[in-house]
């Protein structure tokens, strides 16, 4: 469904991604793990189109999206939940959700999506008319995910959704990832929390300073001594 081939991304003269290749198949949860600064956010920026490529190609669902404008990728069914949530803080929860559906042409069906998302995140329903920025970090993360789901994506890109959340909320977020996949949405999950990420994912890629250093089945990687030593604190 998503195929990244030999992608390079530069920030000015510095190359942050060197020849990255990665595949995500329909129905999978794939995780991209790596330490801070490895290039995980940069990879998602390349996929969502915020960052131009210095080389390589990206295909999504049969389309070559290598140089497609970011806003044109959303209607194809590709949406990103950015790192740090980036919700529209002075707007209400309902307005944020509505913006997630901006690119949709079937606005008559929005009601169903909205009901589904409010069922998935009951806290958002209670706070629908509240300014989004006044909610707790966990609620804001739920909103960021809900907002992306409003676009009815085929592939959801999640950038460190557990970052800065209390353990209980981290658990909740990963439970949400499972429920999203159960709805038939494919997920590419970027995480520093390798332990949790490998638990929910089918397959994983390990990113190290702009290279893919390892890839494989999530269960296998979780038991790999090198992964245990570097990312699982064992």
Q: Of ligand ADP, another protein, Mg ion, none, which one sits near residue 196, judging by CB under 5 to 8 A according to partner kind?
A: none
**What backbone torsions phi and psi does residue 217 show, to the nearest 5 degrees?**
-60, 135
Looking up tokens 């909610």 gives: 135
Least distance to ligand ADP from the beta carbon of 227, Å? 16
Could you tell which of another protein, ligand ADP, Mg ion, none binds residue 71, using a CB distance below 5 to 8 A set by kind?
Answer: another protein
The region that residue 79 occupies, defined by phi over 0 for left and psi between -120 and 50 for alpha, beta otherwise, is beta
Q: Of 26, 27, 37, 175, which lies in the binding site for ligand ADP, with binding defined by CB under 6 A? A: 37
CA 6 – CA 212 distance, rounded (Å) = 11
Chain positions contacting another protein, by CB under 8 A: 48-50, 69-75, 79-80, 82, 86-91, 95, 98-100, 102-103, 147, 151
User: Which of another protein, ligand ADP, Mg ion, none does residue 151 bind (CB under 5 to 8 Å by kind)?
Assistant: another protein
Distance CA 140, CA 132 (A): 7
- Asked whether the beta carbons of 15 and 54 are under 8 A apart, the reply is yes
One of 38, 65, 117, 221 touching ligand ADP (CB under 6 A): 38
d(CA 111, CA 43): 33
Helix axes 137-149, 110-120, angle to 10 degrees: 150
Give the residue with the Cβ less far from Mg ion, 150 or 170.
170
In the DSSP assignment, the letter for residue 131 is B
41 binds Mg ion (CB under 5 A): yes
Sign of the dihedral through C-alpha 45, 50, 56, 58: positive
Q: Please choose which of Mg ion, ligand ADP, another protein, none residue 161 contacts, taking the beta carbon within 5 to 8 angstroms, the exact cut-off set by kind.
A: none
Q: Is 162 near Mg ion (CB under 5 A)?
A: no
Number of residues that bind Mg ion (CB under 5 A): 3
Phi, psi of 193 (to 5 degrees): -80, 80
Q: What is the CB neighbour count within 10 angstroms for residue 100?
A: 26
Nearer to another protein, 82 or 138 (CB): 82
x-or-dash pattern for ligand ADP, window 182-201, by CB under 6 A? --------------------
Least Å from the CB of residue 207 to another protein: 21
* List of residues contacting Mg ion (CB under 5 A): 40-41, 83
């Amino acid at each position: 469904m998503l195929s990244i081939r030999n992608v390079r991304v530069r920030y000015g003269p510095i190359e942050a991604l060197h020849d990255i290749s990665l595949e995500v198949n329909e129905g999978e949860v794939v995780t991209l793990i790596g330490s801070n600064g490895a290039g995980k956010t940069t990879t998602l920026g390349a996929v969502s189109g915020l960052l131009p490529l210095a080389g390589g190609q990206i295909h999504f669902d049969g389309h070559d999206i290598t140089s497609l404008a970011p806003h044109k990728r959303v209607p194809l069914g590709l949406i990103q939940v950015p790192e740090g949530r980036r919700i529209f803080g002075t707007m209400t929860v309902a307005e944020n959700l509505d913006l997630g559906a901006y690119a949709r042409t079937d606005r008559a069906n929005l009601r169903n999506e909205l009901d589904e998302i409010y069922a998935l995140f009951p806290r958002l329903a209670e706070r629908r008319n509240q300014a989004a920025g006044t909610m707790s970090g966990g609620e804001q993360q739920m909103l960021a995910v809900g907002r992306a789901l409003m676009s009815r994506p085929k592939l959801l890109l999640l950038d460190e959704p557990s970052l800065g959340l209390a353990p209980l909320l981290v658990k909740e977020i990963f439970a949400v990832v499972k429920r999203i996949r159960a709805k038939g949405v494919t997920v590419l999950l970027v995480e520093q929390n390798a332990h949790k990420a490998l638990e929910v994912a089918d397959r994983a890629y390990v990113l190290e300073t702009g290279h893919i250093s390892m890839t494989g089945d999530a269960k296998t990687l979780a038991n790999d001594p090198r992964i245990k030593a570097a990312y699982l604190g064992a």
